[in-house]
Amino acid sequence: MARTGCAITGIGRTTFTRRSGRTTLAMAAEACRAAVADAGLTMPDVDGMIAFQAGDSVGPLSVSRAVGIPELAWNIDVLGGGNVVANIVATAGAAIDAGLCRAVLVYRSLNGRSGYRFGTSTSRQQVGGEMQFDAPHGYLVPPQWIAMWARRHQHEYGSTCDDLGQIAITQRTHATANEHAINRSPLSLDEYRAGRWINEPFRIYDCAYEIDGAVAILVVGPELAESCAVAPAWLIGSADSQSGDGWTQWDDPTSMYSRHAAPRLWNRTGLSAAEIDVACMYDCFTYTVMATIEDFGFCAKGGVGEYFSSGRATYGGDVVVNPHGGLLSEGYIHGLNHYFEAALQLQGRAGERQVPDARRALVTAGAGPYGGATVLSADRP
Amino acid sequence: MDGAVGAVAAVAAPPSSEPPQPLPDLDTEGFWQATARGELALCRCHDCLLWVQPPLERCPSCAGPTSFQPVSGIGRVFSFIVVRHPAVSGFEHELPMVVAIVELEEQVGLRLTSRIVGPLEEVEIGSRVVAELVALPGGDFHAPVFRPT
Ligand SMILES: [Zn+2]
């Protein structure tokens, strides 16, 4: 079973900005303090930390010192991107279940706009490993890889750029009610179409908005969860799938990691897409939402544009997809902000953008051959 | 402290106007040695004849020994993008450019991602293309690009 007895309780974050003027350490410490305070706990209650980074963040030992935790019973610092988030949340729960620790801060801190930017590559002069074959053609960054995959989907299923635009538009509409989002102006289809090309078929509005900031979530065991100041968002299932086939050799770019992870997740939880109220779908790019929405079974292949344009992915529809606006509009905290939002919704604390009677949330993390997903529930399993 | 816990230092090199260069290793150097000779050659298993890209010392299917064998360079466009934003150094003056995943005729799923040269409007998924080798600015390497035929 990929079910732990654990829950997310406290959640914390910094403001999201274009230029923080702060270190990743300072921001991580602020987010972690906020998460622990939100749970109604104190730092001595925390004995575990796990984080992920791409050489652009700060490790648990530095952060534990910054928040006044003298030592950690358990910590891991993972080198990786959005594809590892579901796995590290699950691993935090598994570590607690195994008795290795009792309360784990999971955090991500990055100066994603003013510092190292994922969408560019200006410093890698020599590229080794499998990407050395792509390097001479400048094919080194995610907005290229995933646009390449989107084109194949358009070829096989007749999906269009306007379909991708419907995802961006719906999420932007959601972000208008989120004061924490970096992009809150409504987006029309005409504005979407007028957006500048990045890599055809992607325009600027198909790409996550890179920002500076930090998010932390606190994962605790069942006894501690019931005694926290906020309602637990229970981790009721998790599944991962990571493939070595990479961005060129992966056989079918009309599906992503989720073609394996989704059946694994639904099998483990006994649930299906129909039983999900809130779906925080990893949206480094619009096409990532398109492919994973299909793989998780929310709608048929090729139907995502209609699914969004007809209102099935918003309030009053089948499921609310990215009520915070997602990485496209709230900002790119590398997917950990999706866990923040899912917990907030299940705790009934989302204010103006609260999804009515939100009981179960799906959070996905990753794109292409690499990713995972979590189901969170307001009800103790 | 970060080094002790497995993190890596943030990269802070200045922007470059030369394209990235490959960094061959013992498993991949045969590819670049072939392109330097004017030949496109890919890794192939001696025992089961599977083509293996990216290259490996041993076949992932049967663990047989591999070596670099010439390929025709003929393939079809599996997917493509038109790069318009200068996200990667060295291509600022080349944009817009088409980068495609090309599936070679030797084996289903045997693919290279490369630039397409020639009239951009002729590129479609399924287009037949043929490889040619070009010198990569800023170093000693030659790389395959593909031209519609
Ligand atoms: Zn073999």
Taking only the tens place, the pLDDT of each residue in B55-74 is: 999 999 999 999 999 999 99
Instruction: Give the pLDDT score at A242.
Output: 97
Rounded-to-integer distance, Cα A156 and Cα A150, Å? 10
pLDDT above 50 (res B85): yes
The CATH code of the domain at B72-149 is 2.40.50
Alpha carbon of A206: minimum distance to chain B alpha carbons (Å): 13
Q: How confident is the model at residue B17 (pLDDT cuts 50, 70, 90)?
A: confident
> Is residue A315 flagged as an active site residue?
no
Taking only the tens place, the pLDDT of each residue in A327-343 is: 999 999 999 999 999 99
Query: How many structural domains is chain A composed of?
Result: 1
Judging contacts by C-beta atoms under 8 Å, the chain A residues touching residue B88 are 120-122, 138-141
Which of A116, A197, A201 lies closest to B11 in CB terms? Answer: A116
Instruction: Give the pLDDT score at B15.
Output: 52
Q: Do A55 and B9 touch (CB under 8 A)?
A: yes
For residue A41, tell me if it sits in a domain.
yes
Percent pLDDT > 70 in chain A is 98
CB A124 within 8 A of CB A139: no
Please tell me the pTM assigned to this model.
Answer: 0.95
Rounded-to-integer distance, Cα A13 and Cα A213, Å? 8
Instruction: Give the pLDDT score at B6.
Output: 32
Judging contacts by C-beta atoms under 8 Å, the chain B residues touching residue A197 are 82, 84-85
Domain CATH code at residue A32: 3.40.47.10
Cα-to-centroid distance, B71 and ligand 1 (Å): 17
Judged by DSSP in three states, B104 sits in strand
Q: How confident is the model at residue A318 (pLDDT cuts 50, 70, 90)?
A: very high
Beta bridge partners of A251: none
Judging contacts by C-beta atoms under 8 Å, the chain B residues touching residue A116 are 10-11
pLDDT above 80 (res A1): no
In angstroms, the Cα distances linking A194 to A160, A190, A209, A290, A306 are 15, 6, 17, 21, 21
Q: What is the mean pLDDT of residues A180-188?
A: 97
Taking only the tens place, the pLDDT of each residue in A250-300 is: 999 999 999 999 999 999 999 999 999 999 999 999 999 999 999 999 999
Paired sense of beta strands A360-367 and A278-280, if any:
parallel
CB A119 within 8 A of CB A143: yes
> Element (H or E) spanning B119, and its range?
none
DSSP state, A335? T
Instruction: Give the pLDDT score at A37.
Output: 98
Percent pLDDT > 90 in chain A is 95
pLDDT above 90 (res B12): no
Taking only the tens place, the pLDDT of each residue in B104-143 is: 999 999 999 999 999 888 899 999 999 999 999 988 999 9
Q: Is B105 exposed, middle or buried (CB count within 10 Å of its CB: 0-12, 13-18, 19+)? A: middle
For residue A78, tell me if it sits in a domain.
yes
Rounded-to-integer distance, Cα A5 and Cα A348, Å? 21
Q: What is the mean pLDDT of residues A23-47?
A: 98
Instruction: Give the pLDDT score at B113.
Output: 98
Q: Which domain holds residue A56?
A: 7-116+210-225
For residue A218, tell me if it sits in a domain.
yes
pLDDT above 50 (res B100): yes
